[in-house]
Structure 1
Amino acid sequence: MDPRKRVKLQQQDIEEDMEYDDDRNDEQQDMQFREQNVELFDERQLREMIFQLENNYKLNSDQRMRYPNQPEKFIDSEVDLDEDLRKLLILPAYPQLYPIFYSSNALPIVIQLLLHNNESISNDVIQFLKELVAPESEVEPKIIIQLYDCLIRNYLIESLGELIVKNEEKSQEEVNLLHDCFEVIENMVDIKSSISKEIGLRSKIIQYLVKRVEDNSQTLDDNRLYASELLVVLTQQTKENLEIIGRSGGIESLLMVLNQYRKKDPETAEEKEILNNVYDLLTLLLIQEENQEYFQSYEGLQLMIKIIQGKTSQSIRAYSLMLLAINNHKENCQKLISIGGLSIIFPILERKGLKHKDKNKQFEIDETSVQIIKQLLRRNTDAAFKQRVFDKCVEKLESLKKLRMEYVEVIPLIDPEEYDNFEEKQLEKIYFDLLGKGLIVIESIDVILLELIYKDLDVQIDQQEIISSVKQMLKYTGEKEDIDYYNPLLQKFEVNLQ
């Protein structure tokens, strides 16, 4: 993947005249240099390299400024500068010398050279940085963190952002350069996750990555796949970057990607991975209320319905996104009902349409169905819309009870009489283990049934069993908001939550 080639002048009018040594193999020379100097390299040599780099950088800068339209005047210093950068590739093998390097003028010079007009020099800088931030040898955490701090203080992120955004990928060299830029970012974030936030604050890299994921114009496109992977990495623990994607219209771009597959499955493994990454991104984004609103402003719920109806391999993921989009969001709950969501959800509850032979996948579908219904009852403040959900639940009451019984039969519930044999922490662990095995489906159905009981609907259910189940759920998972909501319902039956 190394894109190091001969130095190329950017001025097209003299490009053919000013080429130098086409037969010269820079990569091979780099390797030979490292082999010859691996035992000799020390602090003295590093300082000599830094001194040469500083001098050649100053000379090249002066010449370029003095003779902007006469490349022949600065080509020699450019070749020397390029050679200086390639010599520095030995440094990552000696991380104990890092402090000397990052405390000198060499580091800011290297970062400034990222945006040099000579593309080959930019390539050499990226190759050096890629190895510098992920050295093969063991490095003391303190040294590598100090290096990263120095890189950031000297505007590495801003320079990388500018280099990435202006890259048009019109040549294989530019494609390789972009890929290497992504690798530098990934390596740094892998060591120091807080850099994710700096990337969002200091550059337009996040916005660029979203647009790059949306762009499917290239047939074979490793960079699009890499961009989707990098976005997941940069947003997993950084809410600020999720906000950036939402505010900048990124959710629309991601929905555009999903829209391409509303009726078909990806044709290649790469496409499938990109699509999975986009679903992962939207899953993270929909945690935030503001992004739930952006999602629906771009008709995200309507698209999820179309994907579910398309019966593709991604329909289950679209169903999960539907739940996330309405979770604790009354407007989106009402919107889902108004666009015909009930005619999608209840057939799925009855194992019609969206279903799966794999038990774990079917559990995911069942859980999503009852969680959606629970949200539509609890978060829906519009009386007319809520009544429509109640009516549908009564109509499909036998299906709810049948699904509940199916999970009761397979989950190894503890006999209440044996509770005294366990400590509280043991019971809590058992409880949360059972949630992942299907107890969450039972409890969600019980919450739905409690709502029906509270409305005095004729549902012919063992009320005490349902009330006890909801009370047990609130004991372990109920936050104050949950307790405040369900307490009036339970108090009707003289149940004390304390």
Structure 2
Amino acid sequence: MDLPPPQKRKRSASPPPLQPSAAPIDLSLLEALEKSQQNTIETLDLKTLKKLALSLERRLNANTAARLKYPDNPDKFADSELELHDELQKLKILAGAPELYPDLVSLGTVNSITGLLNHDNTDIAIDAVTLLQDLTDADVIEDNDESAQVLVEALIENNAVELLVQNLGRLSDSDPDESAAIYNTLSTIENLIEVKPSVSELVCEKTKLLKWLQARIKIREFDSNKQYASEILAILLQNSVANQKRFGQMNGVDTLLQAVAMYKSKDPKTGDEEEMVENLFDCLCCLLMPLENKEKFVKAEGVELMIIIMNQKKSCYGSAIRALDFAMTNYPPACERFIDVMGLKTAFPAFMVSILYKAMGFLCIVPLSKKNKKKHSKEELEERLISLIASLFGGILRGSRRERLLSKFVENECEKIDRLMELYMRYSNRVKAETERLNQLELDDLELIAVILGHLWTSEHPRMRARIELLLKQQKLTKKDVKDILQEYHDNIGDLDGPEEKERAQSKIVKFISALK
């Protein structure tokens, strides 16, 4: 089964809370300020934009001149930096008129804003980050795709990506303002990727963002920025083989294994921490797509760790199964290690259990979107276990390990064959009932079950064959029904892994079909 990388988008972590003000808030003043801002936004036009842009340039030039004239006397340029701060704050109203972004670019203002990311005064750099975060916010640019593209292209041309990451290096969580700026920087990078997906590879190729994120998730203590770092890393790895290989070469597999190992015998304390752990497992599954990273996973005893997590039956249970499935898909050494370290004793009880622990979930692979979060379910876990067992049969073709795998289907009066046929009937009935709006995942699961039945049948074990025939007869089915599913699976095998692998996989299915006479 060709498994796409996990593609899930978590809601963004909240920025660090601001300290409460000691003075009481005058609500009437706030209301008046809000009303004045709304009126300003309503009248924002090209003329107003030009005034704002010109004012920014004047303040920027004044600040630059003052710094050059009095490099060792901050008091001499402090006022100019306060004025520059005010101008950057004024530009935030542009988020209310994204249709003016092309004009902002043509005026050269984007170049000036980007340059301020590298300002010697960290507070000014933070102002620039906050402004860019506001201008690129998904809610702002949602219905202005063309304008957003123009803005993002200009930011890239002016090295905003590189400067944003450089700025991360001088920010610290010990300062509340800088901690909030870290969040806003990550948010801006995420927004850029949302508009222009190729930024995900660009930022890893030209900056040290991966290294920064790696260091961040190594920190044992949980905070909102560690959560957001795990989300950004998942986004960077999700569809990029180049990034997956690059992070793998940075010892990324071991980093992620150490990060999730913290939760092998304990559950996350909060919902935000739980999301972070799920993000980390998403990263791990993405990283396990390239063959060389599967090898690193096995050498780092990742198989053993996932089995330990499963045995602990904590909230990471399903995520561990998901990671094992990715590691074992088209990689026999992982399948062999799984059997050698008694993984069958862990996987098959889960396969047989009809009512699973409430916390035993995993995140289904779904497209990333800001509002798309799929909850865990017993059925999704069943689907992942089906895939894992199919991977075992595909990776263990002969020898004592194969015998140990097959023997699991004979023990306890062939109860696992009964369970397999139960699942086969469930998915078969759904496929028949929902032909017009067929869920492709359900068809994939039905095909995988048929493949497992093919493996069992070609073992030529008399008890297995007798049990399969009996159960088919009880459901008024024949071997031809299984052969038809296998034929469809055969016809749908792609050549993503190369023509030789496709031919090998199809040849195996042909043998199953021929054996089911």
Q: Provide TM-score, normalisation by structure 1.
A: 0.79
Distance 1:170 1:132, change over 3 A: same
| 1:201 corresponds to 2:205 | yes
| 1:192 corresponds to 2:196 | yes
Distance in structure 2 (CA, Å) of the matches to 1:477 and 1:326: 20
Distance in structure 2 (CA, Å) of the matches to 1:226 and 1:151: 22
Distance 1:484 1:119, change over 3 A: same
Contact 1:404–1:441 (8 Å) recurs in 2: no
| 1:211 corresponds to 2:215 | yes
Residue 124 of structure 1, CA deviation: 1.6
| 1:446 corresponds to 2:453 | yes
Q: Among residues 130, 135, 151, which one is paired with 1:132 in the alignment?
A: 135
Contact 1:123–1:177 (8 Å) recurs in 2: yes
Match of 1:271 in 2: 273
Match of 1:376 in 2: 392
Q: Among residues 311, 333, 336, which one is paired with 1:334 in the alignment?
A: 336
Distance in structure 2 (CA, Å) of the matches to 1:30 and 1:262: 51
Distance in structure 1 (CA, Å) of the matches to 2:232 and 2:400: 44
Distance 1:97 1:490, change over 3 A: closer
The answer for unaligned runs of 5 or more in structure 1 is: 6-26
Residue 69 of structure 1, CA deviation: 2.2
Match of 1:224 in 2: 226
Distance 1:33 1:250, change over 3 A: farther
Match of 2:509 in 1: 486
Residue 162 of structure 1, CA deviation: 0.8
Residue 35 of structure 1, CA deviation: 5.9
Distance 1:2 1:31, change over 3 A: farther
Contact 1:236–1:284 (8 Å) recurs in 2: yes
Distance 1:410 1:46, change over 3 A: closer
**Which amino acid in 2 is paired with 1:322?**
L
Deviation per CA, 1:271-329: give whole Å up to 9, x if none. Answer: 21211222233233333333322322321111011001111122122122212211110
Contact 2:456–2:464 (8 Å) recurs in 1: no
SS in 1 for 2:151: helix
Match of 2:112 in 1: 109
Residue 101 of structure 1, CA deviation: 1.9
Which residues in structure 2 correspond to 1:77-476 (within 5 Å)? 77-134=80-137, 136=140, 140-217=144-221, 221-351=223-353, 355-356=356-357, 361-380=377-396, 383-395=399-411, 398-407=414-423, 410=426, 413=429, 432=440, 435=443, 439=446, 442-453=449-460, 459-461=465-467, 467-476=479-488
Distance in structure 2 (CA, Å) of the matches to 1:489 and 1:260: 43
SS in 2 for 1:50: helix
Distance 1:258 1:431, change over 3 A: closer
The answer for unaligned runs of 5 or more in structure 2 is: 1-14, 20-29, 362-375, 494-501
Contact 1:374–1:447 (8 Å) recurs in 2: no
Distance 1:364 1:31, change over 3 A: closer
**Which amino acid in 2 is paired with 1:460?**
A
Q: Among residues 51, 68, 73, which one is paired with 2:71 in the alignment?
A: 68
Distance in structure 2 (CA, Å) of the matches to 1:44 and 1:429: 52
Residue 264 of structure 1, CA deviation: 1.7
**Which amino acid in 2 is paired with 1:336?**
F
Residue 39 of structure 1, CA deviation: 6.1
Distance in structure 2 (CA, Å) of the matches to 1:81 and 1:33: 21
Residue 3 of structure 1, CA deviation: 10
Contact 1:3–1:123 (8 Å) recurs in 2: no
SS in 2 for 1:267: coil
Deviation per CA, 1:203-255: give whole Å up to 9, x if none. Answer: 2223423432332325xx22222222333334433343333332222222222
Distance in structure 2 (CA, Å) of the matches to 1:433 and 1:489: 22
Equivalenced residue count is: 460
Match of 2:367 in 1: none
Distance in structure 2 (CA, Å) of the matches to 1:317 and 1:3: 30
Q: Provide TM-score, normalisation by structure 2.
A: 0.76
Contact 2:336–2:401 (8 Å) recurs in 1: yes
Distance 1:38 1:339, change over 3 A: closer
**Which amino acid in 2 is paired with 1:167?**
L
Residue 120 of structure 1, CA deviation: 1.8
Distance 1:363 1:48, change over 3 A: closer
Deviation per CA, 1:86-138: give whole Å up to 9, x if none. Answer: 23223333334322321233221211111212122112212221222237488
Contact 1:394–1:459 (8 Å) recurs in 2: no
Distance in structure 1 (CA, Å) of the matches to 2:281 and 2:422: 30
SS in 1 for 2:353: coil
Distance 1:365 1:43, change over 3 A: closer
Q: Among residues 30, 39, 46, which one is paired with 2:49 in the alignment?
A: 46
Match of 1:10 in 2: none
Distance in structure 2 (CA, Å) of the matches to 1:28 and 1:173: 25
**Which amino acid in 2 is paired with 1:164?**
L
**Which amino acid in 1 is paired with 2:260?**
L
Distance 1:141 1:313, change over 3 A: closer
Distance in structure 1 (CA, Å) of the matches to 2:390 and 2:507: 16
Which residues in structure 2 correspond to 1:5-16 (within 5 Å)? none
Distance 1:2 1:361, change over 3 A: closer
| 1:477 corresponds to 2:498 | no
Percent identity among equivalent residues? 26
Point out which structure has higher relative CO (alpha carbons under 8 A, 6+ apart): 2
Distance 1:375 1:290, change over 3 A: same
Distance 1:154 1:433, change over 3 A: closer
